[in-house]
A and B are shown apart, each in its own frame.
Chain A
Amino acid sequence: MDVLRDQYFNWDITRPYLGDLLRGFWITIQITFLAQIMAMSLGLAIALMRRFRVRSTTRPARFGAGVVRWVAIAYTDVFRGLPSLLVIVLFYGSFPYLPVPILPGLTGFQIAFVALGVVYAAYLAEVYRAGIESIERGQIEAARSLGMSAFASTRYVVLPQAIRRVLPPLMNDFIALSKDVALAGVIAVPEVVLVAKDAQSVQFNSSFLIAAGIFYLIFTLPAIRLFDRYVDRERRRVGGGEVVIP
């Protein structure tokens, strides 16, 4: 029992590193939120691009719309298929050194959130798409019959409903993203898992990893609870909610 406590829950050995661990976790949180904001915006753009249609029946217009949809599909397929780790390393270790440098002069921190934002945008695009496609055709017809443009009906009728429906899967990906931030350690971003691992290899003790794990849980568990409560309240407000069939 003592060995267990010594190796995993050793407070005395952890305490001097607490500041470093907290700083590491602060970096984790910052990357998580920046990447999430980027993924949500880019993902929405991609989801909308995938539905892009033009009214004009001329060939160039239809071809152009097809290209837009094709780009969105290719983006989703490629970035969902690649490991996040590979994308991070690729962005960090090679893009700035191309003949035409991509992302030059960015810090590891910036590369990490951009790379994760790019990868998660592909996931979120699919989440948005599922939400958008779940909206009944009648909703769009009602909006258009009132004279609203395709853009206005998407903006005011489709998206507000679609996003409400996909809040739970969005939250899912947010948590997954927060965990993938640990991958930024490979490009030397001092996020919490890297800090803990370094401390572990110096002290030959795993309590730092447990501490990092606890930080993660302290962050995600209340976030999930608060979020669930928000979703429930929102459902009740518009008159949905759980149905109990006896």
Chain B
Amino acid sequence: MSAGEVRVEGLHKSFGDHEVLCGIDLHVAPGEVVCVIGPSGSGKSTLLRCINLLEVPTEGKVFICGDEITAAKAATNALRAKAGMVFQSFNLFPHKTVIENIALAPRQVGHISKAEARDRAMALLTRVGLAEKADAHPTRLSGGQQQRVAIARALAMEPEVMLFDEATSALDPELVCEVLDVMTELAEGGMTMIVVTHEMGFAREVGKRLVFMDGGKIVETGDPTQILANPAHERTKQFLARVL
């Protein structure tokens, strides 16, 4: 069974003459939490965005739950729904209330009834601790609250994999925790996660594997505690020396 599995094979991505990803191979097992770290411009975000085809790879293949999303005839929309994504800038829909934000895709893509979508959205809001904000507009919420709504919105499609693109980077330091708590709980619930992050604490404690990227390549991958304490590559050492 390949539910929750992500496989990336020989992935290349160029923007014009600039090659951002130079041959990435990555296998994420079901239930695994992989944290991706690296300096800015190393291609972490692009990798994540290629996985659900927000960017079209120049070369290479991506499989979500065993199905190739990069195939010419792939059911792209259906496969994207299996990989929920959380963005650095939240990207909530400002013209909709919190609960409408969460219920929209299940209604329009999943074709479930209005009542069912609302129940599901309410359950997810309760899970991220924001049930009382159901009818507020996103602009009334703090950054941390907005990001928790964004996580609930992604979960509403019942994805097999969750992709986090620097989900806490735009938050005030004291709001980071509430989002990381939700992410930790998800990881403990067995969700497959690929987390691009600068939160080394999260990578160490929640991550089951750490990937260090630089210059569009995976430089080093392995046990987070091991790499953070004792990196094998010079480049990883330099990077960690600056961020830790």
- Chain A interface residues (CB < 8 Å from chain B): 55, 136, 138-139, 141-149, 152, 156-157, 160-161, 164, 237-240
Indicate which residue in B89, B137, B138, B139 contacts A138 across the interface (CB closer than 8 Å): B89
| Contact across chains for A139 and B91 when beta carbons are under 8 A apart | yes
Q: Which residues of A sit under 8 angstroms from B87, Cβ to Cβ?
A: 138, 141-142
Most-contacted residue by chain A among B78, B87, B104 (CB, 10 A):
B104
Q: Is the CB of A146 within 8 A of B139?
A: no
Q: Which residues of B contact A143 (CB under 8 A)?
A: 93, 105
Set of chain A residues within 8 Å of B35, measured between Cβ atoms: none
Task: Number of B interface residues at 8 Å Cβ cutoff, please give it.
Answer: 31
Report the Cα distance A143→B87, complex, angstroms. Answer: 12
Chain B 78-121, CB-CB to A under 8 Å as 1, else 0, gives: 10111111010101111100000000110011000000000000
Q: Compute how far the CA of A138 lies from the CA of B45 in the bound complex, rounded to whole angstroms.
A: 14
Tell yes or no: B52 within 8 A of A by CB: yes
In the complex, the number of residue pairs spanning A and B with C-beta atoms less than 8 Å apart equals 76
The docked-state distance in angstroms from the alpha carbon of A142 to that of B139 is 16
Are A239 and B140 in contact (CB-based, < 8 A)? yes
Q: Considering the chains assembled together, what is the distance between the CA atoms of A240 and B138 in angstroms?
A: 11
- A147 pairs with B137, CB closer than 8 A: no
Query: Could you tell me if B93 and A240 are in contact, using CB atoms closer than 8 angstroms?
Result: no
**B77 interface contact, C-beta 8 A:** yes
Please give the residue numbers on chain B whose beta carbons come within 8 Å of chain A beta carbons, in ascending order. Answer: 52, 54, 76-78, 80-85, 87, 89, 91-95, 104-105, 108-109, 137-140, 150, 153-154, 156-157
B137 touches A148 (CB 8 A): no
| Interface contact A156-B108, CB-CB below 8 Å | yes
25 A-B pairs within 8 Å (CB atoms) are namely A139-B93, A141-B87, A142-B91, A142-B150, A142-B153, A145-B52, A146-B81, A146-B84, A146-B104, A146-B105, A146-B153, A146-B156, A147-B77, A147-B82, A147-B105, A147-B157, A148-B105, A148-B109, A152-B108, A156-B104, A156-B108, A238-B94, A238-B139, A239-B138, A239-B140
